[in-house]
Every structure is written in C-alpha cells, then in structure tokens.
Amino acid sequence: MPTIPSAPHAADPLVGVLTEIARTVAETLSLPEVFARVADAARRVLPFDAAGVARLVDGPALLSWGTSTPGLPEGREWRYEKSEISDLLWPSGTTRRIDDTREVLDRNRRADREVLDAGTRSILVAPIARGSLPLGSVWFSSRTASRFGPEEEEAARAVADILSAALEHERLAEEERSRLRRHRQLEALGPALASALDVREVFDQVSAIARNVIPHEKMTLGLLSDDRTENRLWAVAGDRSWAPEAYPIPESERAQMDLDHQVVVDAETDLPPDSSRRAILLAAGLRASLRVPIRLEGKTVGALSFHAKEVGRYHEEDVELACRVADQVALAFSHQRLAEEAKRTEDARREAARLEERVRVLSDELESRDGFGRIVGASPSWRAVLVQASKVAPTETTVLLTGESGTGKEVVARALHRASARSAGPFVALNCAALPEQLLESELFGYEKGAFTGAYASRAGRLEQAAAGTLFLDEVGETSPLVQAKLLRVLQEREFQRLGGTRVLKAEVRVVAATNRDLHAAIARGGFREDLFYRLSVFEIHLPPLRERPEDVLLLTERFLEDLSRNVGRPAPGVSREARELLLSHSWPGNVRELRNALERAVILSEGGLIQAEHLPISLAGGGTSRVASAAAVELPPGGLDLDALEKTLVTQALERTKNNRSRAAKLLGLTRAQLYTRLERYGLE
C-alpha cells in the first residue's frame, strides 16, 4: 500500500482526501468505479473541471478513462497511439503542468485537438508508476488558464502514488486474463485439427487461433526430405505466393534442423548468407522467425515456423506456446495414416451405398427397361410425354420441362436421370424459387472460404455435387439476371467458378430444367435471357395439366392409395362411387400434387375404411373450378395489357384481402410462399 504523505496538521484537507482515496483503492473496485470516487474526493483539494486516468496498454498505446461528473461510475474511454498525442500529455516519470494549452498543444494530433476543442486551457499531469515500471498518469484539467500551481502538483502526485495500486491491480488482472485467454485459445487447436483429415484443410484456422497467442504475419509447415537436404513447404497459411513449394537446405543449416527450437531475431544477420530461407524471408519483408520442430515417433520430420516483419518479435518465452501448437500439429500428423485409411473406408462405404441405391432403382424400374414404367398415366397426352422422354433420356441433351405447378416435372426429371447413362451418378435438385439471389448463387456454384460474411469454410455447390450425374433446376424461370448469366456460361462453356474463387471448375453434369412460367412472355418483358432459353430448351417437353387428362385421375388415385397405405401401415382403401365421381369432376388446379394431398387426407380420415365423398377436401365439393373459370373469363383487351402491372395488381389485392397474411395470399394466387416472395421482391412490395 503506498505511503500517504505526512501533513502539517491533522486538519489538513489533503490528508483526509488521501485517506479516503487510499480506502477506495483498498476496496479493489473496478477502475472506473475507483476513479469516479477518487475524482469526487480530489475535487475538495484540486480545482478541476474534468479529470481522468490514462493507462499504458499494448505497448505504444494509451487508454484514457475520464469523467466530468465525479461521483458517478460511468465515464468515457479514449484510445490513442503514441503518434496521436503530444509528449506533454503522454505519461512520463515527471509531473507536468500546462498553463495554457493554446500555446503548446498541436492541433494536428488527435488527442491535442480534442483537448483544445473541449475548451481546456490548463492541465496537470502526474505520473503513475510501480517502482521503475510506468503504468500511466492521472490528469486534471480546467477551462481556466494557469489554474494549477505547485500546491496542486504536490496533491496530484500524492493522488497518483495511491492510484498506482489500482493500476497495478488492473495490469496484473489483465495479464492474468490474457494468460487464461491464450491458453483457452490454444485449447481450440485440438478440435480444429480433428475436424479435417488433412492439416492443410484447416491450416488457415490453426494460424488464426495461434495468432492470438504467438503474433505472426505468416505461418508455415515444412517437411524435411528423407536425406534432409530439402524443406518442402507442405502448408502455408493464407496467400502462399511468397513461398516456394520447396527450397534446398545448405550444409550450414542442416544441423539446426534437429534443434529444440530456433529464435531468429533478424533473418538478415542471424541466418547464413547462403541460406535459401534467408532469401525467401527477406524477399517477403519478413525479418523475425520462430521455428519449433515437428516430431513423429521421436524423429524430427519438419518444423512449424512463425514469421513476423518486426525485428526481434520473438523471445524465449514464446517457445513454450509455440511448441504446444507444434505438438497439436504433430498429433494430427500421427493420425494421418489412420485418417487416410478412414477416408478409404468411407469411400468404399459410399461406393457400396451407391451400388445399393443403383440396385434399388433398377428394382423399381423392372417394369420398363427405359425407366418410365412406374410413371402412371394412360391418356394420349401423357403417353406422348413419356415417348418424348424415353427418346431423349439416353442422350446428353439439355431438357426443359414446362407445365403448371404440380404436373410432375420432378418425377419426369428423375425418370430421365434413371434411364440415362448417368444413372449411376447423383441426381441433385435445386428449387430456384425457394432461395434469394445471393443464396441461390452460393448454393448453385459453391463458395470459397471468406467469400462473404459467414463463409468460414469452402463449400461445393450443387454443380459439383451433381458431377457425373444430373442437375435438376426447378422453377428456373425465377432466377435473377446475374444467375442467368452465370448459368448460361455453364451451358455454353461447361465451366464455372465458386464464389470468391479464381479456379475454373468443369461442369460435368447434365442439366434438366423446369418452369411453370411462360418463358416467351418473360423474354418479351426482359425478365429472362433469350440466349439462355435456347440453351435450356434444346429439347422441350410440355407436361399437360391433370384437367386435360381426366382418364389418368383414377389410375393415379389407385397408385397413390397403394403408396399412402404403406406409409400408414394399412391395406389400400377402396373409393366409393360418389367419391370417384367427385374426383373425376374436379378440375385439379393443383394438378397431381393436389390429388395426392387430397388422397392423403382422405386415407387418414377414412381410418382404413372406404373413402367417401365427405373424406375429400371441402373445396372439391363446389369451389374447385372457380379458379379455372375465372381465369377463362378474362378477355384480352384489343390494345394488349401489361402482364407485369397486372400481376403486381393481383399480388397487391391478395395481400390487402388477407391483411398481409402471406401464406393465405400465396394460396389465393395459386403460388408457393417462395414464388410469392420472389414477386414481392420483383415489384418492390416487401
């Protein structure tokens, strides 16, 4: 505890103030609370308008905490670099008094300018130290020039002496917090390294974790050749353009490869002139280096190195933490062979699963060699669809499936895939209307780590996932111009790039697209690229709505009831005559999807008995044809109409009628929620 200066007599106000301050510091409150109470007490012996404590932090930086309202714990913090503040204000070993700030402070420095702008005329600064270790300073300011004299200097020094305990306590607490934080950060290395089969996949992450413990601009992982004459830079954090794949190790450096560690204070003077490492570091502007070995089974196989631009950055006390990082990396290496074996096992498992899936698909398609036997339908229009599909399936031609929502476009797309030469590959589907532009782009093309906020790791897109198989792009008419342009390049050049990447990847996929929009009208309005349309519609197949193939309704009903009954563990129920008539009379605006949903509801309600008319949705009983009728009643005006304006008006009316309930509005318009959101964005109605 600092000694309180003696006073001429017990009634001296300074003694009482210092006693109160000492008691405050002894209570070990937080620094802002300590200073708020100190400022409150100091006001009785020092005539100041504002006061604060400046604390040295992070080397050449100053953290100043101040208040103009003593007695309150809240205050304000400022942070300054050494270049932003005059030497007169910077903490030193002497007490300084500025009688008129206008004469000595420099407006070109941020701290000086803020002092002047606050109307401060005089300042008193007293140093706070712990022995020979400077900790900061305490300052008092006034809007009156020459406000402080020798007596105030003495009082300020006494206050500073007592405050040294509080700042020392804060410094030690920060060091302890920093130590704990560094150890906790190193604990994250294990999970990070364990998350990948190859250390190189997470080396950037390892560097980021280690940087908070061992500051560095570059980090490398080198592996020695068997004859120890070459160092191969197996992993480099971040940009590796500055680092070669490998470099020779001269005779003068080979003995250093087996050292426990090597601290290079300055590469220019500490490394031999013939050292390739020296030349590489200096060319990259790196001067200091810390090298710790990587050992496997007691043998040094390489080294983990940290590099910095600042001369003398590393010291012996950094070695222990660096070795901890190296040990974690070595542990990952020791599991490398096991990881590789695990990867081979996983590849074999995936191949077995792929073959098993292929067997299942072939079993499903035993009814027809061309893969279309299980697609139900006997109407001429539907059989025409299957004939076209069976002809184009064995080819690599891009197919465009058109038709209303729910007509079975994805079912046909999957059949095209199963009947093609790519059937052993994956079938990957992507609904273009379900995602906003940015997310659709990343889902389709993939992205590299750091391509955007939240891209913590690289990810393959659907194009890569569908390699050697089929990519099905549903609702392709809802894509944005940017995505359309990139998709056109895929179809033309058969190549693409991930978001944030520079590497050109090959698109080894067959594309099958689908839309329920009139793309010709969209092209006329400028909403869809004509060149992309012609690339997609090399072979176009139009799927008729269910109302145009009524003879298929009962066939589909029978098949759906078989499938649904298996799901609920009951025999397939029968359908009453009234229910059959109701099914046949309904216009099915939702097409096959609506039929299946209606039957699923009926299976549940019938509880295994005969499906009656009342088990079917109420909408089938009377209002089912209203949408078709209303659509047919619209007459095209002689002067034409603006489809976009009409669609915008209908969307607006639907939102008004449903009081902005978007699910109900989408149902009124015959759209999915995703399709409605696309139109809200397109017409600025969000």
Distance CA 202, CA 154 (A): 58
What does the block give as tokens for 351? 């191949």
Record the pTM. 0.42
What does the block give as tokens for 172? 């030690």
CA distance to 356, 511, 577, per residue, from 363 (Å): 11, 25, 34
The one-letter code for the residue type at 511 is: V
pLDDT of residue 279: 94
Over the chain (686 residues), the average pLDDT of each successive run of 10 is 41 62 61 71 84 74 52 58 87 89 93 90 89 82 92 85 73 67 69 74 86 90 90 90 92 82 94 92 95 87 93 89 87 70 74 58 43 67 86 91 90 90 90 85 87 80 90 91 90 89 88 92 90 92 91 89 79 84 87 89 83 76 45 58 79 85 80 78 80
* Nearest CA among 119, 125, 146 for reference residue 54: 125
pLDDT of residue 536: 92
What is the CB neighbour count within 10 angstroms for residue 204?
17
Residue whose tokens read 């295994």: 608
Among left, alpha and beta (phi > 0; psi -120 to 50; other), residue 108 is: alpha
CB neighbour burial string for 302-330, b if at least 16 within 10 angstroms, e if fewer: bbbbbbbeeeebbeeebbebbbbbbebbb
Asked whether 532 and 491 are in contact (CB, 8 A), the reply is: yes
pLDDT of residue 193: 74
pLDDT of residue 45: 82
Classify residue 390 by burial, with Cβ atoms within 10 Å: 0-12, 13-18, 19+.
middle
Write down all domains in the chain, each with its CATH number in brackets. 13-179 (3.30.450.40), 192-334 (3.30.450.40), 365-542 (3.40.50.300), 546-631 (1.10.8.60), 640-682 (1.10.10)
pLDDT of residue 103: 93
Asked whether 221 and 203 are in contact (CB, 8 A), the reply is: yes
Distance CA 268, CA 251 (A): 18
pLDDT of residue 370: 40
pLDDT of residue 357: 56
pLDDT of residue 90: 85
CA distance to 84, 127, 148, 151, 515, per residue, from 98 (Å): 18, 14, 8, 15, 78
Distance CA 620, CA 587 (A): 9
Crossing angle, helix 577-585 and helix 553-568, to 10 degrees?
A: 120
Distance CA 200, CA 134 (A): 44
pLDDT of residue 183: 64
